[in-house]
Structure 1
Amino acid sequence: METTLQSTHTDTTSLEITFLGTGTSSGVPMIGCHCAVCRSKDSKDKRLRSSILLRVQGKTIIIDTTPDFRQQMLRIENDRLDAVLFTHAHKDHIAGLDDIRAYNYFQKKPMHVFATKATQKELVREFYYAFSEFKYPGIPEILLHSIEAEPFDVEGITVTPIRVWHHKLEVVGFRIGDFTYITDANKIDQPQLELIKGSKVLVLNALRKEKHISHFTLSEALELIEKLQIPEAYLTHISHQMGLHETISGQLPNHVRLAYDGLVLRVPFKGDQAPKTATAF
């Protein structure tokens, strides 16, 4: 596939972000749909389910394992994975977890998985065989770690959790250095907004233009980016209802772009830059 637009950042010490998928739960094109977006020949209108891969200080971290996880890993030829971070337990964000088995096999160790207690409960229910007392050979090997309110360490990288609301469901966003990633949200309380402030790059969900019960609309996302004075922002978790990538891109402010599958950003990284914590989960 086409390689990618890169951020203007040029520092040699950087956090590299690869967008594995930028679509909503049904992906784009959507099964059975014949709208202009779903029939588009533009590769930027082909969106797998939303997830990103982070490379920093020699470590590789995934945020969410979508139903497309195997395809996403093969597409970018990723042969190393140190940890998985989960935003929440909806199927379009966890369904691919079984395929970490390949990394277990080649790396010969369990996978570190970070999630809230509520998300862990759903992972144990969904992938019960990986957590059973008597394990069948070849199943995923997982070490669960709990996300609380405090910043936490992932392979020597400080990650700050940011609590957001997906209608009435609590979802976790993540800040690493000057980069913040938030998906599946339509409300963020003020104490959590304080944790985002100062980010140089923000990735934020924007489902479509029309109002939605659990996702930011395009206008709501743009308003939040402006409120937080974010200098560089990318929109993700996009549905076919948003419109054609090329058309919508032409309607955005210069510092805001639609993300697309395969896009790579590089953000300068200075190590431990964790902001102060906010209200506990």
Structure 2
Amino acid sequence: MKIIFLGTGTSYGLPIIGSKHPVCLSKNPKDKRLRSSILIEKNKKVFLIDCSPDFRYQMLRCNYKKLDAIFVTHEHYDHIGGLDDIRPFYIKNKKPISIYGLRRVLENIKQRFYYFFSENKKSNILKLSIHELDQYKDFFFVEYFKIFPLSIWHGILPILGFRIENFAYITDASNIPIHTIQKLKNLDILVLNILRKKIQKSSILNESLKIVKKINPKKTYFTHISHLLGFHEEIQKKLPKNVDLAYDGLII
């Protein structure tokens, strides 16, 4: 399995427009972060988790010309804002692209991108195959792969993470329920957002590292990183050996 970090930033991205914060002014490429999303390639199938507003540039940058399915964690703009830019994949393959998410999330997408679902064939330049995940409490199959939806909390909003084999991706989590922690055992790789319960960066890291310790994966990568965390190189030096900050373009 090949994982490509398309973006590792928060909803603002880094640098933030007009900001003079030192991290936003950094010259280090690892401090420049597009909105969070990853690409997964396995057995010539290509899956996307979240479709950020930066999707077009992200796909051009990694030079991928194929997309088989999209998994959506939740309906916030930084996670679905790039959906219109999947049109070239549909135009090329003439095949509806499967999108998976909670019913609430998919209904939101239908409202925001209503023209995808128009009955006017001339204006319907993109077709999505909708798959609701509310009824799947354990796992579902996509292209013969077993996918585990992971129930997590983003504030008071229930959202999803995803586990594929011994890899799991969780972003925007403010709380991970015990029953989900149990589904995350025996992981080779965990991707987890930086949990921002407090502003102080030491507290941010401590909260996140506590979750990592509970799950105990072989390797963890932090994503959804704010300028408030600090410079990439400085924070990386403070992390345990089995924990790294992800950065845009990282391939594992």
TM-score bracket, normalised by the shorter chain, equals over 0.9
Conservation of the 8 A alpha-carbon contact between 1:207 and 1:239: no
1:233 has 2:209 as partner: no
Cα distance, 1:132–1:150 mapped onto 2, change above 3 Å: farther
Aligned partner of 1:29: which letter? P
Query: What's the CA shift for 1:58?
Result: 1.2
Q: Which residue of 2 aligns with 1:173?
A: 161
Equivalences for residues 81-96 of structure 1 within 5 A: 81-96=67-82
1:203 to 191, 208, 222: 191
Aligned partner of 2:186: which letter? G
Q: Which residue of 2 aligns with 1:262?
A: 249
Q: 3-state DSSP class of the match of 1:202? A: strand
Task: Between the two structures, name the one with larger relative contact order (CA 8 Å, sep ≥ 6).
Answer: 1
Q: Distance in 2 between matches of 1:97 and 1:123?
A: 9
Q: Distance in 2 between matches of 1:107 and 1:204?
A: 33
Q: Distance in 1 between matches of 2:196 and 2:75?
A: 22
Q: Which residue of 2 aligns with 1:164?
A: 152
What is the RMSD computed on CA atoms of the aligned residues? 1.5
Q: Which residue of 1 aligns with 2:49?
A: 63
Identity among equivalent pairs (%): 46
2:177 to 185, 189, 192: 189
Q: Distance in 2 between matches of 1:131 and 1:248?
A: 45
Q: 3-state DSSP class of the match of 2:238? A: coil
Higher helix share: 2
| Count of residue pairs brought into register by the alignment | 248
Aligned partner of 1:243: which letter? G
Query: What's the CA shift for 1:256?
Result: 0.4
- Runs of at least 5 residues in structure 2 that lack an aligned partner in the other structure: none
Equivalences for residues 146-157 of structure 1 within 5 A: 146-148=132-134, 149-157=137-145
Per-residue deviation, residues 128-153 of structure 1 (Å, max 9, x unmatched) = 11112324435221110111323111
Query: What's the CA shift for 1:180?
Result: 0.5
1:248 has 2:219 as partner: no
Query: What's the CA shift for 1:197?
Result: 1.2
Aligned partner of 2:128: which letter? I
List 4+ stretches of structure 1 deviating above 2 A: 132-139, 207-212
Aligned partner of 2:188: which letter? K
Q: 3-state DSSP class of the match of 1:254? A: coil
Q: Distance in 1 between matches of 2:89 and 2:127?
A: 9
Aligned partner of 2:88: which letter? A
Query: What's the CA shift for 1:221?
Result: 1.0
Query: What's the CA shift for 1:35?
Result: 1.3
Normalising by structure 2, what TM-score? Answer: 0.95
Aligned partner of 2:230: which letter? G
Query: What's the CA shift for 1:208?
Result: 5.4
Moved more, 239-248 or 199-208: 199-208
Aligned partner of 1:250: which letter? K
Query: What's the CA shift for 1:110?
Result: 0.9
Aligned partner of 2:241: which letter? N
Aligned partner of 1:28: which letter? L
